[in-house]
Amino acid sequence: MAGKTSRGALRIGAVAYDPKVVTIWEGFKEHFAARRTPIDYVLYSTYDAQVDANLSGEVDVAWNSPLAWVKSQIQSGGACRAIAMRDSDRDLTTKIIVRSGSDLNSLADLKGKRIAVGATDSPQATLIPLETIAEAGVEPGRDCRVVYHNVMVGKHGDHVGGERDAARALAEGRADAACVLDGNYTAFINEGTLDPGTTKVLASTPAFDHCNFTVPAGVPMERVQEFAEILLAMKFEDPAVRSFMEMEGLKKWLPGRTSGYGPLERAVRRFQYYGEAASSAGN
């Protein structure tokens, strides 16, 4: 039964995609304790395990990837709420890039080509860009070859490793195109994974949103409200939490919204990522 932990500390689920996750949540835990709203955190090795734990009531709130949010909605019949997200979670795009000297000028030109993507469960480096390519009339796996880079499957691409490998595949001529998050494209150039001037953007995906704090039905709203209010009141200028916010990749927490998950929902339906249930869920 969801919310079974409601009389103690609010339990937050998070996925351990990097050792820094422990540091982040230890810092946030202290911040909430100082405001007499105790939380505890439970780490999971995969988002699938976290979704199951959240919907069964093992944790009250889950810090979910976008794909974990979509799965939660499918399995709960749309009963979950997105209560907060980072400023950096909104209006992202993925770039489909090619070598600057290639004769590829549109998505239609990808027919017969090799498309380097991230892990099979990466929303930004695989599912959403493949949906964009399919929408342009190039069916992945039929009209073009998809080259997956399955680094840490289960983490939904949060670690960026598979995405970086996709960029390397393009740079080394093992792929004709690669799919990388807009911000990561710049980072890969700055760090030397991609040499400046050697690639160009063929197309961009529609804008989409990333992570959110997900709450299933049955968790007392007053407890969630306390958590959300303290979260949204965090200040980047506060030295007590600034380093943890930096590690989590944000400058401000924002209220959750669900309008930015359309591109991923369409991809999940098109590729039947979660089976027939996904094909008939949502719009």
Within this chain, domains 10-89+210-279 and 94-204 share the same CATH topology: yes
- Name the residue among 40, 20, 18 with its Cα closest to residue 28: 40
Question: Regarding beta strands 94-99 and 199-204, do their DSSP bridges make them parallel or antiparallel, or are they unpaired?
Answer: antiparallel
**What residues does each domain of the chain span?**
10-89+210-279, 94-204
Residue 278 CB partners (closer than 8 Å, separation 6+)? 70, 74, 268, 269, 272
| CATH code that applies to domain 94-204 | 3.40.190.10
Q: Give the phi and the psi of residue 69 in degrees, each rounded to 5.
A: -60, -50
Residue 80 reports pLDDT greater than 80: yes
CB-count burial class (<10 Å; 0-12, 13-18, 19+) for 242? middle
Q: Which residue has tokens 């939904």? A: 156
Q: For 93-105, write each residue's pLDDT tens digit.
A: 999 999 999 999 9
Q: For 256-266, write each residue's pLDDT tens digit.
A: 999 999 999 99
> Rounded to an integer, what distance in angstroms lies between the CA atom of residue 86 and that of residue 28?
14
- Name the residue among 83, 28, 30 with its Cα closest to residue 54: 83
pLDDT at 278: 44
- Name the residue among 226, 214, 234 with its Cα closest to residue 59: 214
Class of CATH domain 10-89+210-279 = alpha beta
Which pTM was predicted?
0.92
What confidence category does residue 281 fall into, taking pLDDT thresholds of 50, 70 and 90? very low
pLDDT at 7: 56
Instruction: Return the structure tokens found at 51.
Output: 């979704």
Q: For 100-152, write each residue's pLDDT tens digit.
A: 999 999 999 999 999 999 999 999 999 999 999 999 999 999 999 999 999 98
